[in-house]
Chains A and B, each alone.
Chain A
Amino acid sequence: MIPFLIILFSLTMLYLGATSRVEAYIKTLALQGVILFFIILLDYGTENIPNLIFLSAETLAVKGVLIPLVLMNVVRKNDIKREIEPNIPFFFSLIITSSILASGFYISWLMSDVAISAHPFFFGVSISTIVTGLFIIITRKKIITHIMGFMAMENGIFLLTLAIAKEMPFIVAIGVLLDIFIAVYLLGFLVNKIQDAFAGVHIGTLTKLKD
């Protein structure tokens, strides 16, 4: 069941790499939150019930519901529909995302004899998710898409920490902190400020400061 969920997760990343519709990004992120929730439920075991409840509830509430709702709110309020003119055409973007994913799987295959403490499959997919997130940030132009690329990267990091969740719950807990930090700060605060100041949430408008 867990490998199936992880593959599903990696497919959502492919979709993120290829789509241009902003609302589709948000729905995909919500889906990722739900997938992560199920992975925690199935993988975490029952030794530490309070921790399990906290983690799974946080994942579902913040990643699955709260962040997508806030994002959707911002998108509807500012009437953002599509990511236009990315730096790389979507077709190539899809090819690059797929190759990142393929190398992720290749890494997990390579890792299967090195990785003692970590689940190799977790590792490969999460690394490719992190790289894809960075790729989305680099190639897209809208601020809102940048945030979503960052969220995807965030989800990848969360998947990575789940591999050591049992040994070091502390690490996962501060991963959760990172989550809330993003939700509160990047979203609630700045997107609206930029909208007010620049009348358009486009990274091209943020070019006053340069040398």
Chain B
Amino acid sequence: MIEIILFTPLILAAAVYLLNKKIFNTASLFIYSLLLLFSSVNLYLEPGSFTSYFKTDNLSIIFLIILALLFSGVSIYNFSYMEHDRSSIKRQSFYTVNILLFTASVAGVILSSHLAMLWVFIEATTLSSAYLIYYHRTPTAIEATWKYLFICSVGIAIAFVGITLLSMGLGGFDSLYFDELAQKAEKIDPFWLKLSFPFILAGFGTKAGLAPVHAWLPDAHSESPSPVSAILSGTLLNAALLGILRVVKVMELAEMGDYARTLLLAAGFLSLFVTAVYIGVVKNYKRMLAYSSIENMGIIAIGVGIGGAGLFAAVFHLTAHSLTKASFFLTSGNILHRYGTAEIAPVRGLLKGDAATGWLWIFTFAAIIGLPPFPIFISEFLIIKAMFTKGMYGTALIFFILLTVIMAGMAKNVLRMCFGEDSAAPGSGKSKILEWLPQLIFMLLLLTAGLCLPDAVRAAFEAAASVL
């Protein structure tokens, strides 16, 4: 199964490049999404492995299923998106090739059972997504691509320093398999392990969008085409976070859990703070969504940093955030298409102009700020509860205040866009069915998870949290 996930995109990419046909471009993404969905469900039922470098465990399967679900939605949306894309067919094919390679490398990060292999695939995600951000070729797109490439390269290099330092501390066994690292965690020289963790956190944290190394994220997410923003935000950030989680686990077993958790908490709260400062003043709604991604990565880091019930909350939050943010970004693509601008100020009367998009915009907003019954409410509630059980009342208060500030900042912008008279140029079309169906499905999934989480799914989340 893992072979299918890793190799079909290569074959499809070659075919897309050679055929250069519009129909085949969009269809190939859809074919791969079906294969991905099929294989990940299979891997969920029966864990598999491929060579010694790739295998699934209870934690990575969650990430894989999120990737598969999200990519399916994006590939459906992409049919419609590509219809009104005006780039040349050659560029569109290259876009498709890069999406396929990007998705395969994200899957590679998720499936890696070896720290260095995970690093290699994270590097591959940077390579394959750079073109996607650059796709519209405007000066701002070039600027965003440059920042993305440069900042992430520095981040990747720093993560590499961390891995090298970790390798220096491996006394007697020269292996970076996660299993073996976990088994022999106590034998790792604590000096080197302690030294390596900040490097790995800063390095992978750059890709995961944790403050203070998040600078590329608002630019890249706002400049890339909306389907790309959706997969960047919903899968890439998670995958990079998985790298951090794996090392946190080793730290935990080496009895340096407190140290790792403190650093995670610091990064998480800083991310929340940065978002709270910027989210009210941004003038571009895609940037607003990007800042919200930073916020949510921060919440997940805080959940892991708290530990205990926070771990379950973190995994749950991660899943909920991916689906919500993907539908948010896809909906923002509809708005961008209809109004022709990513600025907040000129967009008015979304509900009157295009009701489907308008209501999705409001509901995804409600889901992302964590109104009940959406699952983000449950995960944030669980995190606060975990803080209370640990007696961290002050922390819980700060957490709550920051979340409220962020909510207020987003609400101001989102609601302003929805009401009033429609400001779109006359004759701007409404969204077609494929442009709102994926979001609707995501929303229904989220509502189901929020109202009555099926036992099997809950068990899967609990199993994943127990790996942490």
- Give the interface of A toward B (CB within 8 A): 114-118, 130, 134, 137, 143, 146, 150, 153-154, 157, 160-161, 163-164, 167-168, 170-171, 174-175, 177-178, 181-182, 185-186, 190, 193-194, 197-198, 206, 208-209, 211
Contact = CB atoms under 8 A, between A and B. Distances in A.
A161 to B, nearest CB: 5
A157 B160 contact: yes
Contact count band on B: 35 or more
Interface string B405-440: 000000000000000000000000000000000000
A17 B149 CA distance: 24
A171 B167 contact: yes
Contacts of B140: 208-209
A175 B153 contact: no
Interface stretch (B115-123, B179-187, B254-262): B115-123
Given A117-B168, A190-B145, A197-B142, 8 more contacts: A114-B191, A146-B150, A161-B164, A181-B153, A193-B142, A198-B142, A208-B143, A209-B147
Contacts of A134: 154
A47 to B, nearest CB: 15
A118 B168 CA distance: 6
Given A164-B164, A178-B156, A209-B222, A171 B116 contact: yes
Contacts of B218: 209, 211
B146 A190 contact: yes
A115 B174 CA distance: 16
A150 B168 contact: no
A157 B149 CA distance: 19
A167 B174 contact: yes
Contact of B147 (A170, A171, A181, A206): A206
A186 B171 contact: no
Closest 9 CB pairs of A and B: A209-B219, A206-B143, A118-B168, A197-B139, A197-B142, A167-B174, A211-B278, A208-B140, A211-B282
A186 B145 CA distance: 11
A119 to B, nearest CB: 10
B139 A208 contact: yes
Contacts of B171: 116-117
A115 B278 CA distance: 44
A197 B142 CA distance: 8
Contacts of B29: none
A181 B123 contact: yes
A209 B191 CA distance: 41
A190 B123 CA distance: 17
A198 B130 contact: no
Contacts of A194: 142, 146
Interface in B116-163: 116, 119-120, 123, 127, 130, 139-140, 142-147, 149-150, 153-154, 156-157, 160-161, 163
Interface string B259-283: 0000000000000000000100111
Interface residue SS majority, chain A: helix
A24 to B, nearest CB: 22
A186 B160 contact: no
A177 B142 contact: no
Contacts of B164: 157, 160-161, 164, 171, 175
A195 B394 CA distance: 51
Interface residue SS majority, chain B: helix
Nearest to B169: A117
A171 B196 CA distance: 15
Contact of A186 (B150, B169, B219): B150
B216 to A, nearest CB: 10
14 contacts: A134-B154, A150-B154, A157-B161, A160-B161, A168-B174, A171-B116, A177-B120, A178-B123, A181-B153, A182-B153, A190-B142, A190-B146, A194-B146, A209-B218
Contacts of A114: 191
B223 interface: yes
A8 B168 CA distance: 24
B19 to A, nearest CB: 25
Contacts of A117: 168-171
B149 A175 contact: no
B106 to A, nearest CB: 17
A163 B355 CA distance: 62
B127 A175 contact: no
B157 A150 contact: yes
A203 to B, nearest CB: 9
B189 interface: yes
A130 B199 CA distance: 12
A198 B167 contact: no
Contacts of B127: 181, 185
A22 to B, nearest CB: 18
A163 B453 CA distance: 51
Contacts of B282: 211
A182 B153 CA distance: 8
Q: Which of B119, B153, B154, B157 has the most CB of A within 10 A?
A: B157
A164 B167 contact: yes
A114 to B, nearest CB: 6
B338 interface: no
A150 B142 contact: no
B287 interface: yes
